[in-house]
Amino acid sequence: MTDTPIRLVDYLPPSHLVDSVALTFRLHPQATRVLSQVCLRPNPARPGRHDLRLDGEALRLIGAAVDGVPIAAMPDETGLTLPASSLPDGPFTFTAEVEIAPEANTALEGLYMSRGMYCTQCEAEGFRKITFYPDRPDVMAPFRVRIESDLPVLLSNGNEVANGPGWAEWHDPWPKPAYLFALVAGDLVAHSAGFTTMSGRDVALNIWVRPGDEARCGYAMDSLIRSMKWDEDVYGREYDLDVFNIVAVDDFNMGAMENKGLNIFNSKYVLALPETATDDDFARIEAIIAHEYFHNWTGNRITCRDWFQLCLKEGLTVFRDQQFSSDMRSAAVKRIEDVLTLRARQFREDDGPLAHPVRPEEYIEINNFYTATVYEKGAELIGMLKRLVGDKGYAKALDLYFRRHDGQAATIEDWLAVFEDATGRDLSRFKLWYSEAGTPRLKVTDDFRDGRFSLHVEQVNLPTPGQPDKHPKVIPIAVGLLNPNGDEVVPTTVLELTETRQSFHFDGLAARPVPSILRGFSAPVVLERATTPEERAFLLAHDTDPFNKWEAGRALAKEVLARMVTDGAQPGPDWLDALARVALDEALDPAFRALALRLPGEDDMAQTLHAAGHVPDPDRIHAARQRMAAALAERLDPALPGLIDALAEPGPFTPEARAAGRRALRLAALGLMTRRDGGARAAAVFRAANNMTEEVGALSCLLDVGRGQEELALFESRWGRDRLVMDKWFTLQILHAAPAEAAAKVDRLTAHPDFDWKNPNRFRAVIGALSANHAGFHHASGAGYRVLADWLIRLDPLNPQTAARMSTAFETRARYDADRQALMADQLDRILAAPALSRDLAEMAGRMRR
């Protein structure tokens, strides 16, 4: 069966609107009854009489009625059609009773069970697995929900209005689409706090977890309170219900979900203690708590008209959570980390068969479009808009957006119109960023004559699948100029590239300056500019823009590593000295120094080599990177013990950014030292660690040099009963496995009694780690490809969404040699031939096989 794509151009407003919904749930693991009462009326925006289509999947219909009169409804596989002729011309009520089986729901979409607890996931189209309903985001309604169950805690959206033994009733006054519906029932305990909003309303805050986990909620609660305050201070957005509930669940396909007043989280992004969570975990918890909270305005109060507009809520909300984290932590470090992620995930996506515009124009399965392009590139587009209209223009546009579209389901056209109306700027050319896929390349040359420095910029927009011809984009290029002595002669200025080729001039300069281009990574593009290593080293030493200072070091390291891969060179003393100077410069933020010491990743190198016209060899890249680390360790050797000692944190653990930065630098130094002392120091740090960052960090250092077996066993005996910590134990072993052993390691660990492959976190901890081990996954034997395909084929019938997401490991196929390409194609063919393949995985494998 081939599914036909859904297209943006076919959008039609809904035939009917919903004025209110009342739901009753009689919870039972195998036979939950859902009674619904939906008050509808014809949509004046669709004149004439229309059939009413109600979405519904895998529902056992017990009975249905229109205005109390039973109807003989015959659902098909995807729903129910009520013919126009059978419906009143004005308002009417549709009631239905259906039965569903949450315990049998392994896809974790709709109503399902996670270790005895009921919970829901309705985005994007899960509500149709709960009852018959117009399951589309432009149908918004207030919900009233009654839950009947013996479980002690019964939650839904909005405010609780009544309860009694075995039941509770909730009412959400804010009209919302069905994808924001949520229900939770379980034996849960709350970590509670309160927040007084800017207008003086008291809001009860609860984080609901399993008994025993309540001591692990402090950081998430603290992050929530800071997010609520920040959204008031920076965006003027206030919370709008009496209670804000968060629930942690162990089985969850994604990170978290912004259901109105009842956020549901993967427990991994809530639960944290210094002993169990790393600094990266703490930072991610802070960011995701903020992200879901910020959705209350950007996503819930203003939602998306249709799923093509997904970036309207996701791009903006990612941008907002990035702003929040950068205010809470170091803005420079946050920007560097965000760009690292963008390049690793989004540039990679843009460069392969899965490339798609930030606003896609067609899809087969919408769940396949929760991508780095929609989220991360979507956020970059907001950053560019802000740069183009300035901070004041941005603030005016956002105020107008909230005023004009509150309570609506909006589009990208609406979004751009508020910027045009608030600032008077024409954004019709900028809109191309939303409709054209691919990462623009900027080729920059310069010249200097009679005191005039000129930058000549050309933009190249290469074809992507289905989009052979591209147009020039509007690209903000932030530039600063430095004097040869290192002083800044021209501070950061934003140049606007709008044509294919353009020149920009700076006059009145006494000497030829050194340009610092694309400061702060002002646009999501690849900058191609031939420069000397000396100039990069100069910028690494002197650039006042922290992003470009780091970028200069990064570019140098990549050039050195590329030569090491292609002609077996050794890193020269210049690079080693330049990097050593930064690493040991105590005037610099330790977190920044740690980032500078982080060598380019192997997948990143493969992507870079491929773009430069080489066929990347994963083994050679791996070996060269090892040699690079060894050379750096040798160069820094005398300084390492002192660095490690000086960076030990005295007092108790705190998760804040300053302390985390010191630990990051300490562990970077420890990684290098492990290559010199055979692991003695790392083993000592492991044993002395009082926090998970150093425990896992030291263990990683050991595994990287082929040691650490004893420590792994110790770790397992210490943490064997802790699911989240044990995910790390599984991941580390795969991530640090030698290339020839990675696939066999997967076989060994998937046979471990604690490998619960139906739990998405555990599945990702092992199978996801394999594709993150570049040389292991791409081992010439093809064993990595085979073991991944085996597990995807196995998981797909149970959990298509997670299987489809993880199949993207194959998206880089075209980079590699013919043998590897053929091996990957074989595995994609095997997947495509699997019986009863899901729509999710079929779409992904199909696109990657083309």
Active-site residue set: 292
From the list ligand 0A1, Zn ion, none, which binds 124 (C-beta under 5 to 8 Å, kind-based)? ligand 0A1
Residue 346 Cβ, how far from Zn ion at the closest point, in Å?
A: 15
Given strand 183-186, what is the order of strands in its sheet? 110-114, 117-121, 183-186, 153-156
How many residues belong to the site for ligand 0A1 (CB under 6 A)?
15
Per the listing, tokens 């899809």 go with 363
CA 470 to centroid of chain Cα atoms? 27
Nearer to ligand 0A1, 38 or 180 (CB): 180
- Residues 514-533: x where in contact with ligand 0A1 by CB under 6 A, - otherwise, as a string: --------------------
Task: Check if the beta carbon of residue 169 is closer than 8 Å to that of residue 144.
Answer: yes
* Closest of 328, 182, 303 to residue 245, by C-alpha: 182
Query: What DSSP state is assigned to residue 298?
Result: B
Q: If you ran DSSP here, which 8-state letter would residue 255 be given?
A: S
Closest CA to 660 of 286, 120, 145: 286
Q: Is 250 in the site for ligand 0A1 (CB under 6 A)?
A: no
Q: How far is Cα 162 from Cα 377, in angstroms, rounded to an integer?
A: 44
Interface size with Zn ion, residues (CB under 5 A): 2
Q: How far is the CB of 794 from ligand 0A1 (least distance, A)?
A: 21
Residues 119, 245: contact at Cβ < 8 Å?
Answer: no
Q: Least Å distance between CB 384 and Zn ion?
A: 20
Choose between 251 and 376: whose C-beta lies nearer to Zn ion: 376
Residue 123, binding choice from ligand 0A1, Zn ion, none, Cβ under 5 to 8 Å by partner class: ligand 0A1
Q: Within 83-142, which residues bind ligand 0A1 (CB under 6 A)?
A: 121, 123-124
Q: Of 16 and 291, which has the nearer Cβ to ligand 0A1? A: 291
Number of Cβ within 10 Å of residue 275's Cβ equals 16
CA angle, residues 620, 622, 626, in degrees to nearest 5: 115
Nearest to 363 by CA among 412, 371, 54, 382: 371
Q: Is 270 in the site for ligand 0A1 (CB under 6 A)?
A: no
Residue 464 site contact among ligand 0A1, Zn ion, none (CB < 5 to 8 Å, cut-off depends on kind): none
Helices (H), 360-425: 372, 378-405, 412-423
Using CB under 6 A as the binding rule, the residues of this chain from 789 to 828 that contact ligand 0A1 are 801
Q: Mind giving me the DSSP string for 450-492?
A: TTEEEEEEEEE---BTTB----PPPEEEEEEEE-TTS-EEEEE
Closest CA to 283 of 332, 342, 326, 347: 326
Name the binder of 245 from ligand 0A1, Zn ion, none, CB < 5-8 A by kind: none
| Residue 254 Cβ vs ligand 0A1, minimum distance, rounded to whole Å | 4
Minimum CB separation of residue 142 from ligand 0A1 in Å reads 21
Show Cβ contacts of residue 567 under 8 Å, excluding neighbours closer than 6 positions.
none
Cα radius of gyration rounded to whole Å, the chain: 28
Contact between 843 and ligand 0A1 per CB under 6 A: no
Binding ligand 0A1 (rule: CB under 6 A), the pick from 183, 207, 257, 576 is 257
- Cβ-based neighbours of 348, under 8 Å, separated by 6 or more: 372, 603, 607, 811, 812
- Quickly list DSSP for 309-353: GHHHHHHHHHHHHHHHHHHHS-HHHHHHHHHHHIIIIIIHHHTST
Q: Which residue has the tokens 């694309």?
A: 518
Minimum CB distance to ligand 0A1 smaller for 107 or for 788: 107
The single residue among 131, 322, 323, 367 that binds ligand 0A1, judged by CB under 6 A, is 367
Query: Closest distance between Zn ion and the C-beta of residue 397, in Å?
Result: 20
* Cis amide linkage into residue 58, ω under 30° from 0: no
Of residues 308-337, those binding Zn ion (CB under 5 A): 314, 317
Q: Quick one: 235 or 370, whose CB is closer to ligand 0A1?
A: 370
CB of 124 to Zn ion, least distance (A): 12
Distance of alpha carbon 560 from alpha carbon 555, whole angstroms: 9
Question: Which of Zn ion, ligand 0A1, none interacts with 737 (beta carbon under 5 to 8 A by kind)?
Answer: none
506-512: long-range contacts (C-beta < 8 A, 24 or more apart)? 506/452, 506/453, 506/454, 506/481, 507/451, 507/452, 508/451, 509/448, 509/451, 509/452, 509/453, 509/481, 510/451, 510/483, 511/483, 511/484, 512/448, 512/453, 512/484
Min dist CB 402 to ligand 0A1, Å, is 19
The interface with ligand 0A1 within residues 552-571 (CB under 6 A) comprises none
Instruction: List the one residue from 253, 266, 300, 325 that touches ligand 0A1 (CB under 6 A).
Output: 253
Smaller CB distance to ligand 0A1: residue 358 or 770? 358
Tell whether residue 372 is a contact of ligand 0A1 (CB under 6 A).
Answer: no
User: Does position 258 bind ligand 0A1 by CB under 6 A?
Assistant: yes
Position with the least CB separation from ligand 0A1: 254
Binding-site partner at residue 257 among ligand 0A1, Zn ion, none, CB < 5 to 8 Å by type: ligand 0A1
Whichever of 114 and 317 has its CB closer to Zn ion, that residue is: 317
Among 370, 402, 504, 757, binds ligand 0A1 (CB under 6 A): 370
**822-825 contacts, C-beta under 8 A, 24 or more apart:** 823/782, 823/785, 824/785, 825/849
When the beta carbons of 300 and 423 are compared against ligand 0A1, the nearer one is: 300
Of 292 and 545, which has the nearer Cβ to ligand 0A1?
292
Segment contacting ligand 0A1 (CB under 6 A): 249-257, 463-471, 673-681, 696-704?
A: 249-257
446: contact with ligand 0A1 by CB under 6 A: no
Q: 587 CB contacts (<8 Å, ≥6 apart)? A: none
- List the one residue from 250, 314, 603, 811 that touches ligand 0A1 (CB under 6 A): 314
Residue by residue, DSSP assigns 554-589 as: HHHHHHHHHHHHHH-----HHHHHHHHHHHT-TTS-
Residues 537, 534: Cα–Cα separation, whole Å: 5
Q: Rounded to the nearest 10 degrees, what angle do helices 602-611 and 546-567 cross at?
A: 80
Amino acid found at 517 = I
Nearer to Zn ion, 299 or 524 (CB): 299
Name the DSSP letter for residue 152.
S
Residue 254 engages ligand 0A1 in binding (rule: CB under 6 A): yes
Q: Which is nearer to ligand 0A1, 292 or 602 (CB)?
A: 292
Identity of the residue, 169 or 258, whose beta carbon is nearer to Zn ion in the bound complex: 258
Site string for Zn ion, 260-299 (x = CB under 5 A): ----------------------------------------
Pick the stretch among 255-263, 266-274, 543-551, 655-663 that binds ligand 0A1 (CB under 6 A).
Answer: 255-263
Binds ligand 0A1 (CB under 6 A): choice among 73, 256, 561, 831: 256
CA 520 from centre of chain: 20
Question: C-beta of 366: minimal distance to ligand 0A1 in Å?
Answer: 8
Q: Of the ranges 250-258, 465-473, 742-750, 764-772, which one interacts with ligand 0A1 (CB under 6 A)?
A: 250-258
Binding-site ranges for ligand 0A1 (CB under 6 A): 121, 123-124, 253-258, 291-292, 314, 367, 370, 801
Residues forming contacts to Zn ion in the complex (CB under 5 A) are 314, 317
